[in-house]
Amino acid sequence: MTFFRRYAQHYGALVGLAILGMVLLLALLAPLIYPVSPWQGVGEPLLGPFEDPAFPLGTDMLGRDIAAGLAYGARVSLLIGVVSTAVAVVIGVSIGALAGFYGGRIDDLLMRFTEFFQTIPAFAMAIVLVAIFNPTITSITLAIAIVSWPPVARLVRGEFMSLRSREFVQAAVVVGQSGPRIMLTQILPNTLSPIIVTASLMVATAILTESSLSFLGLGDRNMMSWGFMIGAARTMLREAWWMSVFPGVAILVTVLAINLIGEGLNDAMNPHLRGRKG
């Protein structure tokens, strides 16, 4: 209860939650509202916004409904954002936990590995991965996960290192619990708050990365996405501004909402660290 009250203290965090709720609803209801595939032309080409009440956001050069594209694009953005973050968190937690708990050589080795992935340019690597393994929803999700886990690993390692020497963990060692069991049942539950905060902000970054990849033509060919719509609108910038403006606003609003939620979570879960970023 206190958690929610602290969260709700932030006007922005509530607004973020409301916006994300609407985007989620739109994503879920897309096939009901727009039963026709967003790839199919349904109206006259290049209708401006509000020119035809059937297509409030206009149509593109093939007569595809922009609004339908936005609804289906929300599915891809949210799906890839959440799943790639989940995968990244699993990788990051595993590596960070092992490094922080066992220390020594294992720690050294795993941290060098992490540093390597943190140093190389993330977006360039994502491009290379998706290009070589062909753009599918799986390869895009995995590529984003592969370039975004290092901060989680570092965070979890730090938490594990400091918790490892605490009495309740020592007690578990004395009782004879195994390493993995201590990590999972004793330490991990105590590191959840910062992991959740970091993960929420990672979803936003993942959505930005996904849209950038599909803007470059590295999107799944079977799924309509916001980045793809903007990429397709590039050559029509002069003739049809609405083709690129609306999908961009959709990305902006969604990412903004998730960032606001992340900040709200940060303040609600780490009250003593208010104002700390990242």
Partner 1 sequence: MRPPFRSATAGNEPLKTLDFLFQRLIKAAFVVLGVVILNFLLIHLAPGDPAAVMAGEAGAGDEKFIAQLRAQFGLDQPLWWQLVTYLGNVLTGDLGFSYRNNVPVAELIMERLPATLLLTASAFLFSLLLGVVLGVLAAYKRGTLADSLIMTGALIFYATPLFWVALMAVLVFSIHLDWLPPFDMESIGADYTGWARFADIAYHLILPTVTLGLFFTALYTRLTRASMLEVMSLDFVKTARAKGVPKARIIRRHVLRNAVLPVFTFASIQAGQLVGGAVLTETVFAWPGIGRLMFDALLQRDYPVLLGVFLVTAAVVVTVNLVADLLYRIVDPRIEAAG
Q: Is 251 in the site for partner 1 (CB under 8 A)?
A: yes
Q: Using the rule CB under 8 A, is 120 a contact of partner 1? A: yes
Angle between helix 241-269 and helix 11-33 axes, rounded to 10 deg = 130
If binding is defined by CB under 8 A, does position 2 make contact with partner 1? no
Residues 6+ apart with CB under 8 A from 159: 96, 100, 187, 190, 191, 194
Give the residue, chosen from 84, 200, 244, 266, that forms a contact with partner 1 under the rule CB under 8 A.
Answer: 244
Question: Does residue 245 bind partner 1 (CB under 8 A)?
Answer: yes
The region of 1-9, 53-61, 182-190, 207-215 touching partner 1 under the rule CB under 8 A is 207-215
**Residue 37 found at the interface with partner 1 (CB under 8 A):** no
Q: Which two tokens stand for residue 149?
A: 């886990």
Q: Which is closer to partner 1, CB of 34 or CB of 149? A: 149
* Rounded (10°) CA dihedral 48, 51, 55, 59: -30
Does 227 contact partner 1 by CB under 8 A?
A: yes
DSSP string, 10-53: -HHHHHHHHHHHHHHHHHHHHHHH--S-TTS--S-TTPPTTTST
Contact 55, 43 (CB under 8 A): yes
Contact call for residue 124 and partner 1 (CB under 8 A): yes
Asked if 5 interacts with partner 1 (CB under 8 A), we say no
140 part of the interface to partner 1, by CB under 8 A:
no
- Reported as type and span, the H/E element at residue 212 is helix 192-215
Q: Is residue 218 part of the contact set for partner 1 (CB under 8 A)?
A: yes
CB of 203 to partner 1, least distance (A): 12
3-state secondary structure of 194: helix
Q: Which stretch binds partner 1 (CB under 8 A): 32-40, 64-72, 113-121, 172-180?
A: 113-121
| C-alpha neighbours within 13 Å on the C-beta side of residue 2 | 3
Question: What gap in Å lies between CA 272 and CA 239, rounded to an integer?
Answer: 52
Q: How far is the CB of 227 from partner 1 (least distance, A)?
A: 7
241 binds partner 1 (CB under 8 A): yes
The binding site for partner 1 (CB under 8 A) comprises 112, 115-116, 119-125, 127-129, 131-134, 204, 208, 211-212, 215-218, 227, 230, 233-234, 237-238, 241, 244-245, 248, 251-252, 255-256, 259-260, 275-277
